[in-house]
């Protein structure tokens, strides 16, 4: 889909992939998001395997976007505002290595921008704890099972309950509130 149609691909891990699709889907210039698994050793992992934390994969979202309409830098800003970049053990109620945050770059330009945005966030003083989200080279990405794709659209009541009870929204509202 991506490069051959003039589109680009970005890959982000930010805990539960259900919560990572909506912030990107709302953006003008984002053509598609795909929930999946990346960063591990085994080929074609499924949710049951990844959920154990033993495969080394992270739940992630691949974002296919039109760089003429939205920049990678803008996607990075949305990513940072969707996660807790200081938590090495997962994200919010989702604990374990499969729920860690990470940016997976697809080329040198993405790497440079991701590292610069990470350094800028660290220097901002917004968070007291260190930024632990790594910037890593993209590897194989395996789409998650169909029932995980667009979960927030297919199961809005269950999704909203999960999202609200996960603590993600409370944390993000506090972390990104405007200073007085």
pLDDT of residue 180: 41
Distance, CA of 171 to CA of 93 (rounded, Å): 11
Element (H, E) at 10: strand 8-14
Per-residue model confidence as pLDDT tens digits over 27-79: 999 999 999 999 999 999 999 999 999 999 999 999 999 999 999 999 999 99
Instruction: Give 124's pLDDT tier (boundaries 50, 70, 90).
Output: very high
pTM, 2 dp: 0.94
Distance, CA of 61 to CA of 70 (rounded, Å): 17
Contact at 8 Å (CB) between 86 and 121?
A: no
Distance, CA of 109 to CA of 26 (rounded, Å): 24
Contact at 8 Å (CB) between 94 and 171?
A: no
**Structural domain spans, the chain:** 3-175
Of 51, 55, 82, 75, which is closest to residue 145 (Cα–Cα)?
Answer: 51
Task: Look up 16 and say whether it is catalytic.
Answer: yes
Architecture of domain 3-175: 2-Layer Sandwich (3.30)
pLDDT of residue 177: 85
Exactly one of 7, 8, 13, 16 is catalytic; name it: 16
């Amino acid at each position: 889909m991506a490069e051959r149609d003039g589109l680009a691909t970005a890959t982000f891990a930010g805990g539960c992939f259900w919560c990572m699709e909506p912030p990107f889907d709302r953006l003008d210039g984002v053509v598609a998001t795909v929930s999946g698994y990346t960063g591990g050793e085994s080929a074609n992992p499924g949710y049951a395997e990844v959920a154990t934390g033993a495969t080394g994969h992270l739940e992630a979202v691949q974002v296919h976007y039109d760089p003429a309409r939205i920049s990678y830098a803008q996607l990075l800003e949305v990513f940072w505002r969707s996660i807790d970049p200081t938590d090495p053990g997962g994200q919010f109620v989702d604990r374990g290595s499969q729920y860690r945050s990470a940016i997976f770059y697809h080329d040198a330009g993405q790497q440079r921008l991701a590292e610069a945005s990470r350094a800028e966030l660290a220097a901002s003083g917004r968070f007291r704890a260190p930024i632990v989200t790594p910037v890593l080279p993209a590897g194989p990405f395996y789409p998650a099972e169909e029932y995980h794709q667009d979960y927030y659209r297919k199961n809005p009541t269950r999704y909203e309950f999960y999202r609200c009870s996960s603590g993600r929204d409370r944390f993000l509202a506090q972390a990104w509130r405007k200073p007085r």
